[in-house]
Amino acid sequence: MNNLTKTENSVKWQSPSNIAIVKYWGKKGIQIPINPSISFSLSNTITETEIIYSPKQSGKNISIDFSFEGINNKSFEEKILRYLTQIKSKFSIFDKYHLQIKSKNTFPHSAGIASSASSMSSLILCLLSIEHKEKQLSKDAFFKKASFFSRLASGSACRSVYPGFTLWGKTDAFQSSSDECAISLSEIHPVFNDLQDSILIVSSAQKKISSSAGHQLMELHPYKEARIKQANQHTTQLIQALKLGDFESFIRICETEALSLHAMMMTSNPSYILMEANSLKIIEKIRQFRNDSGFDLCFTLDAGPNIHLLYPKSTKEEIIKFIKAELLVYCESDNWIADEMGNGPKELDKQFYE
Ligand code: PMV
């Protein structure tokens, strides 16, 4: 428990990052995706957020302090404040409390790994825990709300509030799917239940383009309609592959999606090349190793040069040997993060919802 004063109370949540197999790229209206996406939540790339709340003196303005890893961060604070102002009318806590928000990542922020999904979802989970402290809300309703508000903060964050595989965006392939929040995909074959994600850090430099600017480039993209069609087809096919344990289809969809995302950026106006020479070297090595060994493994990338190498736990030992022998030479300072599929967010200290 914290050293709180008599008038203070606190909530604390951990929430994970997620890696998309079918990529969300492009949005419309109020953070509505132009295509459905499927990801799985990770286990080790996590943000932990604590909010200490105390009665507010006066005034209608939202009152927060924000610190990241122990240091006050004004630029993050302003970003959060802008978001909270947008959702203010849906929460009563902003009128009642001053919020001291403390956030930290369990992974090095210098690794160039996007953290908006984990940071924003952990923030929302804290806010909802305070908001609903005295009210009855079922666990399902709580996480649905968490996904809804996380989406408004950062699209892909809405997929981080559930364990394992999640689907965000309306698709005919899944009746309860929604553009407004993610849902959990529960019919998953055991071969996909312990997926490993070895994140190979090719460069830890800051992103060349923010994801909001990237999404915007899809608005006038000449391949927009074809991309929407492809993502919808991949979503339908992936849901089926996950159900059946069809790793071959998983590999095909996963790699095509990653390369399509990068192709969209390469052919945008202005155009961006976000892979580096070493990203391509690693991709070639992975494909070569797959052909030679017959192991199920594949790569994906977010909007940057780092490679996520995905494979089942059963081949972990051999694949880590392969990483060390053949891939680390292409990584910045031999840097990589060992991650795997995770159990979703977790409330710390108080056990409000777990
Ligand atoms: O949630 P955003 O706006 O940071 O967009 C994420 C976009 C990708 O990571 C490239 C793809 C995805 O679906 O996560």
* Ligand 1 proximity of 113 Cβ (cutoff 6 Å): no
Are 340 and 197 in contact by the 8 Å Cβ rule? The answer is yes
pLDDT at 350: 65
Are 84 and 99 in contact by the 8 Å Cβ rule? The answer is no
pLDDT at 112: 62
* Ligand 1 proximity of 119 Cβ (cutoff 6 Å): no
The partner residues of 27 in beta bridges, in order of sequence, read: 33
pLDDT at 216: 97
Are 200 and 323 in contact by the 8 Å Cβ rule? The answer is yes
CA of 112 to the centre of ligand 1 (A): 14
How many degrees, rounded to 5, is the angle at CA 127 between CA 126 and CA 129? 65
* Ligand 1 proximity of 116 Cβ (cutoff 6 Å): yes
pTM listed for this prediction = 0.96
**Best substitution site from 34, 274, 302 to test ligand 1's pocket, by max atoms within 8 Å of Cβ?**
302
CA of 68 to the centre of ligand 1 (A): 22
Per residue in 201-260, pLDDT tens? 999 988 888 899 999 999 999 999 999 999 999 999 999 999 999 999 999 999 999 999
List, in order, residues 6 or more apart from 354 with CB less than 8 Å away.
346, 347
Q: What share of the chain is helix, strand, coil (3-state, %, to 5)?
A: 45, 25, 35
pLDDT at 115: 79
* Ligand 1 proximity of 154 Cβ (cutoff 6 Å): yes
Cα(43)–Cα(341) distance, rounded to whole angstroms? 6
pLDDT at 8: 84
pLDDT at 60: 79
How many degrees, rounded to 5, is the angle at CA 321 between CA 41 and CA 203? 60
What stretches in the chain show pLDDT beneath 70? Answer: 1-3, 109-112, 114, 350-354
Cα(134)–Cα(58) distance, rounded to whole angstroms? 22
